[in-house]
């Protein structure tokens, strides 16, 4: 199929299905992934995942993580730092350990156990926020705890993924390799938080003085892509640099509502849609790829997150139900694990079977979590936290 016709088919079907899915209360990304599944090799096999689609979807995932990062107002969480840090550590550590243990029990290689550990540790901010808003719990103590922990969990997961993505495919993981990978990831994050922060904010501030508002828009895109390329040059994935750039520039971007809306509309109106559709395009749902592993992986993903969130936050709330709701709210996966999984597949780190299992697990958590949260909040009179 002609490439323009392919893009047109993807956009039309993805937007139609995304709108239908949103009308029944779920994120549009489920419909957009479904569009890729329908048009790809799983069903109609009309659209190929070629270099053009991949290039556009790469820009999409860069913009997706940049926008997610720019939405994070970390200053809102300063007053609850202890509660969020403690909860984030347990809500990451327990799923990471569970992922390693599950991979070992399933006789998976160490690198695949590491991959499972990363995927299980993630909470999707992009799914959590609209869910809490729809339940009118965004500005509650439970809501802000969930969001703050989700942000920290994603930072931890991105650091772990930086380690994974810097490992050579096909090599064993020696202690030296692991230490080098950890060092590269930490140096990149520290560099972005110091020199990178100064450069990015300085360039953006200078662009705001231009007579044309389009300059700030263009500079935002340039800085997002530049940061992504820098992380890629360091042996990490594009998403890490893009996310950090969004965090660094977030407060500057959000005060210019027109700029923020323009970035969001261009990202989610075209590029991000192509990215989610591409997730479905490389998904081959065949009897061979429908693994029974989805049941233990899904149960572990939900159980480990609930346990981690509960154990981390129980010390800061007066009742166990509030801590349980925090754990439930940390369950949904979404954009970030999909991005990590797709790049892990294309890099040869995981099989089509594990990729299919991961995508289906992500979709299941997106469907299950809002229903569990709604039920939990209906029976909850939220208490004030202890600290």
217 has a pLDDT exceeding 70: yes
Tell me what pLDDT residue 170 has: 46
List, in sequence order, every residue forming a beta bridge with 317; answer none if it has no partner: 385
Is residue 373 over pLDDT 90? no
Write the pLDDT tens digit of every residue in 248-276. 998 899 898 889 899 989 888 999 899 88
Does the domain at 3-378 match CATH 3.40.50.150? Answer given as no
pLDDT in tens, 116-159: 998 998 887 767 776 776 677 876 888 878 877 887 787 788 77
109 phi and psi, to 5 degrees? -60, 160
Give me the helices (H) in 140-209, please: 141-165, 175-191, 197-207
* pLDDT tens profile 292-308: 888 999 999 999 999 99
Instruction: Provide the residue count of the chain.
Output: 387
Whole-angstrom Cα distance, residue 117 to residue 125? Answer: 18
Q: Which residues contact 330 (CB under 8 A, 6 or more apart)?
A: 91, 123, 128, 146, 149, 150, 153, 305, 306, 308, 309
pLDDT at 244: 86
- Residue among 250, 384, 233 nearest 317 (CA): 384
- Per-residue pLDDT, 164: 72
Predicted local confidence at residue 169, as pLDDT: 46
Question: What's the CA dihedral at 365, 366, 367, 371 to 10 degrees?
Answer: 90
Q: Where are the domains of the chain?
A: 3-378
Of the given ranges (209-213, 254-258, 298-302, 326-330), which has the lowest mean pLDDT?
209-213
Specify the 3-state DSSP secondary structure of 317.
Answer: strand
Q: How far apart are alpha carbons 319 and 147 in whole angstroms?
A: 20
Q: Residues 56-106: pLDDT tens digits?
A: 988 988 898 898 788 776 665 555 678 888 998 999 999 999 999 998 888
Q: What is the pTM of this model?
A: 0.74
Model pLDDT for residues 231-246, shown as the tens digit of each residue: 888 777 787 788 889 9
Percent of the chain with pLDDT over 70: 89
């Amino acid at each position: 199929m002609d490439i323009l016709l392919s893009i047109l088919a993807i956009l039309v079907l993805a937007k139609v299905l995304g709108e239908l899915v949103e009308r029944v209360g779920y994120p549009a990304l489920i419909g957009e992934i479904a569009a890729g599944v329908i048009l790809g090799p799983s069903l109609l096999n009309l659209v190929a995942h070629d270099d053009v689609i991949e290039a556009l979807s790469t820009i999409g995932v860069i913009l997706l993580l940049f926008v997610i990062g720019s939405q994070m107002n970390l200053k809102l969480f300063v007053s609850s730092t202890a509660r969020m840090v403690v909860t984030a550590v347990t809500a990451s550590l327990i799923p990471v350990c569970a992922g390693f243990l599950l991979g070992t029990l399933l006789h998976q290689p160490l690198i695949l156990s590491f991959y499972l550990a990363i995927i299980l540790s993630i909470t999707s901010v992009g799914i959590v926020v609209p869910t809490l808003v729809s339940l009118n719990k965004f500005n509650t103590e439970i809501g802000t705890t969930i969001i703050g922990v989700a942000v920290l969990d994603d930072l931890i997961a991105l650091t772990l993924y930086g380690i994974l993505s810097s490992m050579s495919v096909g090599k064993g993981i020696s202690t030296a390799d692991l230490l080098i990978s950890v060092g590269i990831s930490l140096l990149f994050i520290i560099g972005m938080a110091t020199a990178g922060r100064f450069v990015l904010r300085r360039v953006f501030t200078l662009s705001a003085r231009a007579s044309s508002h389009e300059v700030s828009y263009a500079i935002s895109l340039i800085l997002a892509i530049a940061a992504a390329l820098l992380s890629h040059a360091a042996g990490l994935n594009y998403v890490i640099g893009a996310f950090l750039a969004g965090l660094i520039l977030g407060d500057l971007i959000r005060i210019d509502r027109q700029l923020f809306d323009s970035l969001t509309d261009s990202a989610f109106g075209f590029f991000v849609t192509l990215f989610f559709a591409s997730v479905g395009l490389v998904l081959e749902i065949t009897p061979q790829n429908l693994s029974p592993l989805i049941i233990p992986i899904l149960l572990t993903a939900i159980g480990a997150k609930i346990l981690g969130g509960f154990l981390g936050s129980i010390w800061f709330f007066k009742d166990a139900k509030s801590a349980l709701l925090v754990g439930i709210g940390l369950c949904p996966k979404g954009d970030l694990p999909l991005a990590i999984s797709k790049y892990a597949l294309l890099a040869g780190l995981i099989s089509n079977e594990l990729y299919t299992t991961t995508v289906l697990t992500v979709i299941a958590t997106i469907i299950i979590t809002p229903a569990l949260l709604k039920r939990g909040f209906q029976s909850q009179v939220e208490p004030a936290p202890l600290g």
